[in-house]
Amino acid sequence: MKILYFDCYAGIAGDMTVAALLDLGVPFEVVEEAVNCLPLPRSSCSLAVERTSRRGVAAARFVVHAEEHPPHRHYADIAAMIEASSLPEGVKEKAQRVFFRLAEAEAKVHGVEIGQVHFHEVGAVDSIVDIVGAAAALEWLGVDAIHAAPLPLGSGSVETAHGRLPVPAPATAELLRGMPVHGEAGPGERVTPTGAAILAALATGFGRPPAMTVTGVGCGAGAKDFEDIPNVLRLFLGETEGGLQRDEVAVIETHIDDMNPEILGHLLERLMAAGALDAAYSPLQMKKNRPAVKLTVIARPGERDRLASLVLRETSAIGVRFYRAERLKFSRAKEERATSLGPVTVKVIRDGDTVVRVTPEYDACRRIAMERGMPLLEVYRIVEREAGQP
């Protein structure tokens, strides 16, 4: 099992994340090619990676030279930009999750619907590049789990498009829900909204480093040079022994017997888009002989309250219950395999280094079926035969 640990002793930002991933060994071309997949004007930005140091600690620095007065982009525009791009599906999925968490936080802070959210700094080209670049680098590494250290809150204020705001900025504070934090760092913005969103969307655990054999270390420098501590994000890449993976999840449940079933389908889509690991309905027979359903949502522990709130807002339920559960699971990763129908994304399931099975991805097969006018079942059979070997 491959684990990536974010040692955020000085904080985290989007550019620090990309820089640390590059320092860890991700080829610069991986980030560059991902950015080139986006429908951005080619004159709007250029990328560079350089060596630098922060208070004597050597690190990589990721620099985006972007347009001076970027447009303010709505969340829907950015989501559509990513979806319409030629990015690999795994990169799209990671980037979309990060932007959704950002939009969700901004919507709550400003008291608007997600569709009305428009980004200022985060909608600029450099922030889009940071998020998509980080997603592409993580996909290239093929990590099975991301863990992170507690985050420093920082203090003071920061200048934004909304004026001077306290540190952490309101959207950052919202994103930090469910994450361990501390106040040991000095003044300044130590965690940016982009950095917080990357961990909120992609991290599976927080706290001490998990037991692992370290195989690589990457250091990414931030733009500022703080006086109290080197402004560097460290990443530890490690391996654990083969076999089943173990993690902890939050299980959210409620019973629903008085709601239009059409809304139930909408709720599942919202939950999965919001980062639920899984969601499902089970039939029930409740009091007064009413047919009903039990909603079960599996979530990362840090996202329990946020997803429970979504359930309460989107359903007729007036309460939910939850509990923690441990999971044993195979590792899995999305890969692109060549077939006679063209490249197809498949899910490769492993027990340690042993491939247990290879299964076609539904969305990729459905797209081929629609484009070629073929039965979906036939597409599955071809993909399973041609791409299903370990």
User: What are the tens digits of pLDDT across the range 314-336?
Assistant: 999 999 999 988 788 887 888 88
The pLDDT assigned to 204 comes to 83
Tokens describing residue 179: 């994450």
Pair (231, 340) in one structural domain: no
Question: Pick from 282, 304, 329: which residue ends a domain?
Answer: 329
Instruction: Give which of 102, 132, 122, 126 is closest to 31, Cα–Cα.
Output: 132
Query: What's the CATH number where 293 sits?
Result: 3.30.70.1380
Pair (85, 129) in one structural domain: yes
Pair (297, 361) in one structural domain: no
User: What pLDDT digit, counting tens, does each position of 179-238 carry?
Assistant: 899 988 888 899 999 999 999 999 988 888 888 899 999 999 999 999 889 999 999 999
Pair (105, 230) in one structural domain: yes
Q: Which domain holds residue 298?
A: 246-329
Question: Pick from 282, 297, 329: which residue ends a domain?
Answer: 329
Pair (36, 102) in one structural domain: yes
Pair (208, 220) in one structural domain: yes
| pTM exceeding 0.75 | no
Please state the rounded mean pLDDT for residues 273-298: 93
The pLDDT assigned to 336 comes to 86
Higher pLDDT, 73 or 370: 370
Count: domains in the chain: 3
Pair (32, 138) in one structural domain: yes
Q: How sure is the predictor about 67, in pLDDT bands with cuts at 50, 70 and 90? A: low
Pair (250, 383) in one structural domain: no
- For the residues of 15-59, what is the DSSP string, one character each? HHHHHHHHHHT--HHHHHHHHHTS---GGGEEEEEEEEEETTEEE
Pair (210, 313) in one structural domain: no
Beta-ladder partners of 206 = 148
Beta-ladder partners of 279 = 297
Query: What's the CATH number where 346 sits?
Result: 3.10.20.300
